[in-house]
Amino acid sequence: MSPQPTSPNIADLDRLLAEGYNAYVHGSLLIVKDIPYVNEKREVHLGVLVSTLTVSGNTAVYKRNSGNNHVIHFQGQKPCDDNGRQLGMIHQASNVQHANHITTNFSFSRKPPGDYASYYDKMVGYITALMSAAYAIDPSVTAKAATTGGALEGESVFNYIDTNSERAHISEISRKLTPYRIGIIGVGGTGSYILDAVAKTPVESIQLFDSDIFYNHNAFRAPGAPTKEVLEKQLTKVEYLKSAYSNMHKNIEAHPVDIDETTVSMLGDLNFAFVAVDKGSVKKLIFDYLESKDIPYVDVGMGVEMTPQGAIRGEVRTVAVTNKERKKHRSWIGQVDPDEELYESNIQIAELNSINAAMAVIMWKKHAGFYSESTPVGMTTFTIDTLQQDRKVDDGA
């Protein structure tokens, strides 16, 4: 079963159901079906109203006088009055797909003085506006169906609803990420920021590999702000990060091991990997194994040093080894900077780790088709001095 958002707690739904409306919740959507309305030919049809929900945790909360909270979406033909004239509350005519569940054809904007008091009032207000024309033509019509719906439940990789994707209408695009079983090998500075981004996507699972302890210095180059008490527990990096990000994503697995000849087979269940380790010999082992299993991956690296003037300089680089140009792309990993000591220095700074991780995640999402890609990019480097990003692409540039 494809992951579906867990339904929120919403008292307004219970009230709609109690009054006989065919209402239900799907993820962050409140939907009421079987609403009589009139089309341009003065025919009575049944339409569907769809309202996005503002959710706090798993509880829906109507925010009065806040942005476009009063706007609603409608599935059906162009709604009209009993004379066949377009209703004035039509805000926009456009097809919008919501959470891969329902496509609407219009949006309405009808805000009473002081706004609606709740989602119940909002839905009933729009139902009444649509039905008035239908009732004038056929007094027997009703929006209160004999059989009502209810909250749709389904499996989800999240512990609470991803309302962000629905608000931006990118739920269908985000579904491209659901089949991925992601591995993050090395969850120090850059690897932890990769997790921060990936945990906010609907991937099937995330596996973390690192044997190191999460010490104070790690806290200063990773996302979030652990307490002193957490640091004193001396958890491994993967255990700490799993604990933190399992608050959001359910399917995170911690492996407090280093990848070597005895553990490399643990990567076999992945279908995409992020490699965020420093040692060249370990990278070669990982790369060889991933390529033998036809698992695409992104490698990250950071080269930072102090100048004689007492400032920081260097660059971060990201290499995608994801397509038929894998051999060429892999060769770039060892050619980013001839001074290998630059990349082995231990200077890590949170914003540089974050930039490095963001480039890696964008490369993965391009590979998945989430982001467009006119020219496949194999490597990018970001230079601190110039704030310039350079790249190598598949045409040999």
Which of 90, 95, 52 has the alpha carbon at shortest distance from 70? 52
3-class SS of residue 121: helix
Give per-residue pLDDT as tens, 310-329: 898 888 889 888 876 676 67
Give the residue carrying structure tokens 């033509």. Answer: 137
Which of 271, 239, 244 has the alpha carbon at shortest distance from 257? 239
Three-state SS for 59-92 is EECCCCCCCCCCCEEEECCCCECCCCCECCCEEE
How far lies 144's CA from each of 22, 29, 136, in Å?
7, 19, 17
pTM for this entry = 0.69
Report the distance separating Cα 301 and Cα 190, nearest Å: 8
Please tell me what DSSP assigns to residue 152.
-
Architecture label for domain 179-393: 3-Layer(aba) Sandwich (3.40)
* All structural domains of the chain with their residue ranges: 11-160, 179-393
Please tell me what DSSP assigns to residue 143.
S
Number of Cβ atoms within 10 Å of the Cβ of 222:
27
- Count of all residues that appear for the chain in the document: 397
* pLDDT tens digit at each of 397 positions of the chain: 333 444 556 678 888 888 889 888 887 889 999 999 999 999 999 999 999 888 787 677 888 877 778 999 999 999 999 999 999 999 999 998 887 788 999 999 999 998 999 899 999 999 999 999 999 999 999 998 644 444 444 468 888 878 788 777 787 888 899 999 999 999 989 999 999 999 999 999 999 999 999 999 999 999 999 999 999 999 999 999 999 999 999 999 999 999 999 999 999 999 999 999 988 778 889 999 999 999 999 999 888 888 899 898 888 889 888 876 676 677 667 533 334 444 445 678 899 999 999 999 999 999 999 999 877 778 888 888 888 777 777 654 4
